[in-house]
């Protein structure tokens, strides 16, 4: 009897142990199925504070030289080039004859036109007399008169073409290109030469929206170049574009003196110093904090380990820093590295 109770007790213990193990396993499974509440992934980033500092604003830009004037010399009539009165590099003056075209065919056309005009003049005189004797009609006289006027116009046109066969320089300057040689046939409108006028140097460059409002028409600008170290060429702003291009830049032109002793040639890179240094307090952030282009600038601002994307308006660049005109306040923390993994509302951990 005693052994019976022992067996029952052992069975009860085994059943209890099995139930305990099953309950424990179920609890573990439930814990695995539940999402982890406390394991938040924080993206590591580097940050920098928005600074307020005193900056000396000095507008200096890089540009390139273009000719003060550039003109194509074109053949005004078709024909063989009998003479070319220039060589590459020659200096020519406005109105100087550069080429002479063959006009023999035009001379024949002129003779025909003059003969026709003379015949019609005689016909007009004859029919005018006949009209007075009522032997001709007014309509016939008017017809001959119109034909005579057309013939005289034709004579004038051919004479002009013969005169235009002496091709003249449209501007003064230096011959920079000579695509045709003497003795070849040239159609009307064919390019015979290119004249470049370097009496002044024209500098072309682009200014950003912020920079363009620091420039004024007629403002003096100092031009320097690595080609002539230490030399300054004085210039003046002659044009500021009223319209921005697709990159939101504004084209400006500066005319500068060109010294014979230190000639600036077309295509040379130069530096334009606008000489308007001002000292002012500005907000600035590292240039690398921007997540978009300067035109559509934005940054990630960190607060309580959470980032928020904010659009900002930028100003001039100062080395590795860039001016912030609006959108941020002094002391705010912006992300400078790791933005590629972020989106608005991401949690971050600041690494040093």
pLDDT for 126 equals: 87
Q: Sketch the domain layout of the chain as residue ranges.
A: 1-39, 45-54+279-350, 60-67+196-278, 72-191
CA distances from 9 to 20, 22, 24, 211 (A): 16, 20, 22, 95
For the segment 282-301, the average pLDDT, to the nearest whole number, is: 87
Give the whole-number percent of the chain exceeding pLDDT 90: 35
**CA–CA separation, 45 vs 334, rounded Å?**
10
Name residue, tokens 């604003």. Answer: 57
pLDDT for 23 equals: 65
CA dihedral of 100, 106, 111, 115, whole degrees rounded to 10: -140
Query: Considering the domain 72-191 in this protein, what is its CATH number?
Result: 2.40.50.100
For 112-165, what is each residue's pLDDT tens digit? 999 998 998 998 888 888 888 788 788 888 888 899 899 899 999 889 888 888
**CA–CA separation, 148 vs 47, rounded Å?**
90
What phi, psi does 244 have (nearest 5°)? -75, 150
Name residue, tokens 């933005």. Answer: 339
- Residue 179 pLDDT greater than 60, yes or no: yes
What's the length of the chain?
352
pLDDT band for position 38 (cuts 50, 70, 90): very low
Name residue, tokens 């003064």. Answer: 172
Query: Considering the domain 60-67+196-278 in this protein, what is its CATH number?
Result: 2.40.30.170
For the segment 219-246, the average pLDDT, to the nearest whole number, is: 91
pLDDT band for position 72 (cuts 50, 70, 90): very high
- Residue 304 pLDDT greater than 80, yes or no: yes
**CA–CA separation, 186 vs 243, rounded Å?**
41
DSSP codes, 250-273? EEEEEEEE--STTPPPTT-EEEEE
**CA–CA separation, 50 vs 328, rounded Å?**
8
Name residue, tokens 């409108």. Answer: 189
- Residue 36 pLDDT greater than 60, yes or no: no
**CA–CA separation, 120 vs 147, rounded Å?**
7
pLDDT for 70 equals: 85
**Average pLDDT score, the chain:** 85
- Residue 237 pLDDT greater than 90, yes or no: yes
**CA–CA separation, 138 vs 140, rounded Å?**
5
40 or 285: whose pLDDT is higher? 285
The H or E element spanning position 6 is: helix 2-33
- Residue 12 pLDDT greater than 80, yes or no: no
pLDDT for 37 equals: 47
pLDDT for 279 equals: 63
Range with lowest mean pLDDT among 52-56, 83-87, 120-124: 52-56
What phi, psi does 140 have (nearest 5°)? -70, -40
Give the SS3 label for residue 328: coil
The H or E element spanning position 281 is: strand 278-286
Query: Considering the domain 45-54+279-350 in this protein, what is its CATH number?
Result: 2.40.420.20
For the segment 33-41, the average pLDDT, to the nearest whole number, is: 56
What pTM value is reported for the model? 0.52
Give the whole-number percent of the chain exceeding pLDDT 70: 86
């Amino acid at each position: 009897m005693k052994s019976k109770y022992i067996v029952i007790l052992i069975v009860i213990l085994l059943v209890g142990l099995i139930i305990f193990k099953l309950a424990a396993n179920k609890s573990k499974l439930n814990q695995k199925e539940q999402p982890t509440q406390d394991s938040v992934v924080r993206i590591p980033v580097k940050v920098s504070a928005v600074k307020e500092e005193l900056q000396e604003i000095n507008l200096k830009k890089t540009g390139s030289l273009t000719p003060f004037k550039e003109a194509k010399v074109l053949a005004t009539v078709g024909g063989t080039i009998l003479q070319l009165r220039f060589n590459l590099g020659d200096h020519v003056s406005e109105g100087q004859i550069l080429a002479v075209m063959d006009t023999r065919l035009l001379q024949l056309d002129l003779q025909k036109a003059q003969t026709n005009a003379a015949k019609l003049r005689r016909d007009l005189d004859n029919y005018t007399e006949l009209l007075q004797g009522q032997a001709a009609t007014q309509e016939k006289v008017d017809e001959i008169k119109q034909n005579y006027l057309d013939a005289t116009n034709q004579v004038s046109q051919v004479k002009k073409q013969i005169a235009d066969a002496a091709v003249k320089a449209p501007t003064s300057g230096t011959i920079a290109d000579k695509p045709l040689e003497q003795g070849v046939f040239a159609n009307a409108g064919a390019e015979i030469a290119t004249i470049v006028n370097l009496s002044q140097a024209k500098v072309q460059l682009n200014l950003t929206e912020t920079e363009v409002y620091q420039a004024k028409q007629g403002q003096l600008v100092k031009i320097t170049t690595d080609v002539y170290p230490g030399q300054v060429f004085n210039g003046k702003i002659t044009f500021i574009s009223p319209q921005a291009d697709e990159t939101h830049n504004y084209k400006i032109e500066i005319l500068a003196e060109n010294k014979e002793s230190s000639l600036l040639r077309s295509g040379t890179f130069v530096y334009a110093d606008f000489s308007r240094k001002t000292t002012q307090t500005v907000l600035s952030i590292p240039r690398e904090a921007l997540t978009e282009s300067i035109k559509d600038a934005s940054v990630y601002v960190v607060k309580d380990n959470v980032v928020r994307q904010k659009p900002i308006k930028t100003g001039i660049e100062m080395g590795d820093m860039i001016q912030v005109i609006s959108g941020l306040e002094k002391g705010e923390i912006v992300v400078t590295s790791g933005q590629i993994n972020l989106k608005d509302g991401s949690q971050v951990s600041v690494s040093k």
